[in-house]
Structure 1
């Protein structure tokens, strides 16, 4: 995973996922990212799967009017959100929160990578995303 910051779209995996979002007309790509996390059950969570799930949660938070931040890496997502004024169902919000729990859990490669690098700011960024998703 190539990452240059702690925010959801500050890595190659999330940006690649966001390019796929541009061709979607519904929340199927968001659901697909959350499905990948759920299919693993209690197994070890790969960093790329986690990055896609965080990107999906960020899209849902933005659809709820809670972007938190915008930058050059969120432009394509923000354009998509503006063009698709969807109201995310509670089920997707709950699934997003469950995915965040898994990503912050013990069996998460992404969590391990950030903590090994001494980046506690990443935990704060994910906690902020959870607040925006839930709020």
Structure 2
């Protein structure tokens, strides 16, 4: 899975997503990332799309001033947030919450992988915390 922790940027896919985000100057890349999860509908949601959506949702929370983990993996993201004084519209916040709910709904590969892990409860709490930070 390329995962080392349950936090939103505790995996390779989310860290790679940051590198794409820093090229953006507005919220459209974040919105596209979240919409990708919603557009899957009831089809099988694969890990990369889910990990990227979690990263996008966490970025929205950071833009709202609700930081969680700040570390070497999030340095570029934190700098981007500082340089872009963007206020996420409520529709984007709502989209992020919908995407988090979809990730927690089968069929979801990321959900399945975490359910098979001894860290499932910690991961589920991280997602709930993220949803709370979005509100």
TMscore range, shorter length: over 0.9
Match in the other structure for 2:114: 114
Greater alpha carbon shift after TM alignment, 68-77 vs 14-23: 68-77
> Runs in 1 of length 4+ with deviation above 6 angstroms?
none
Q: Find the residue that maps to 2:72 and give its secondary structure.
A: coil
Q: Within 5 Å, give how 1:64-83 maps onto structure 2.
A: 64-83=64-83
Q: Post-superposition shift, 1:17?
A: 0.6
TM-score calculated relative to the size of structure 1: 0.96
Provide the aligned C-alpha RMSD in A.
0.8
Match in the other structure for 1:84: 84
TM-score calculated relative to the size of structure 2: 0.96
Structure 2: gaps (5+ residues): none
Length, aligned pairs only: 134
Structure 1: gaps (5+ residues): none
